[in-house]
Chain A
Amino acid sequence: MGKTPFTASLGAEVLTGGDDVARLRLPWSEKLIGDPATGIVHGGVITAMLDHCCGMAVGISLRKPAPYATLDLRIDYMKPAEPRREIFFEARCVKIGHEIAFTRGCAFQTTADDPIALCTGAFMFTGRGSLAALIPADGPV
């Protein structure tokens, strides 16, 4: 889990934490630029990576794999990413219901308490049948 053709095309790497936090690292590259005058990355890069990271957070919170898709995503951009520096992404699944999973995510360059962007994402399970078995007994609340 965690690798898709798109995120691979951006050069994203999955970081393993061994906990319930999904982590990604995005090394700097020219193709991420959205403002050539300043070298600042395109806001869409942050959106894409946070979507992916929140999706991963849902995946690692499930007992067994199940199909799901992004229902909605809200991104607040706190400040532009500093050019020529890697960006980190972290996300956590805060609640898994029968139909919907709720996530929170963050993008930062130095520490998570100094974010570039914060996000809230909801994901919908797309498979058929009961999903109760997927919900971890002692799962996130």
Chain B
Amino acid sequence: MTDEQQTIARLIEALPYCAHLGIRAHGGDTGMLLELPFSPHLIGNQTIPAIHGGVIGSFLETVAIAQVLWEGAVRPTPRPVNVTIDYLRTGRALTSFGRAEIVKQGRRVLNVHARMWQDDEAKPVAALQGHFLIASG
């Protein structure tokens, strides 16, 4: 992990909501790699058991933000304009991972795609497409 990735990782992990979820951030080849260890308080469906869809959405949004920070596109925290989340598979009681890419960097808005998986990156649990505002205010 580079110094830059280390700085962003600590920043992400220190956000109170991310700390509540238990998100950990690492550096990857193409940017940031985020990890969400399973914890009982993340459950949305106790019978399966499955991670709450809202946890998955929150994690993916954080994955997108981490990548935006790493690419140096905006400081401090980018503001979401909108996000669309596709739920593809059940989020099981396992550790989840996520990475994102900036698809288009405009002058005002960034288009970011993020995906989350568990034991196989080729079988994503969920995918997010979002727009984030560059200009503050």
Selected from A32, A41, A52, the residue in CB contact (under 8 A) with B54 is A52
List A contacts of B21 (CB < 8 A): 44
Is the C-beta of B108 less than 8 angstroms from some C-beta in chain A?
Answer: no
Chain B contacts with A in 56-101, Cβ cutoff 8 A:
57-59, 61-62, 76-77, 79-87, 90
Is the C-beta of B122 less than 8 angstroms from some C-beta in chain A?
Answer: no
Query: A47 and B52 in contact (CB under 8 A), knowing A6-B42, A75-B83?
Result: no
Query: A52 and B57 in contact (CB under 8 A), knowing A6-B43, A42-B18?
Result: no
Chain A contacts with B in 3-49, Cβ cutoff 8 A:
4-10, 30-37, 41-45, 47-49
Selected from A8, A36, A55, the residue in CB contact (under 8 A) with B16 is A36
Is the C-beta of A71 less than 8 angstroms from some C-beta in chain B?
Answer: yes
Number of A-B contacts defined by CB within 8 Å:
129
Selected from B19, B40, B62, the residue in CB contact (under 8 A) with A44 is B62
Count residues of chain A with CB under 8 A from any CB of chain B. Answer: 37
Is the C-beta of B107 less than 8 angstroms from some C-beta in chain A?
Answer: no
Q: Are A69 and B90 in contact (CB under 8 A)?
A: yes
6 tightest CB-CB pairs across the interface, nearest first? A48-B54, A44-B58, A42-B17, A6-B52, A47-B57, A9-B41
Query: What 6 new A-B contacts, CB under 8 Å, besides A70-B87, A73-B53, A76-B81?
Result: A31-B19, A34-B16, A42-B61, A45-B17, A48-B53, A52-B53
Query: Using a CB–CB distance below 8 Å, which chain A residues touch chain B?
Result: 4-10, 30-37, 41-45, 47-52, 55, 69-77, 80
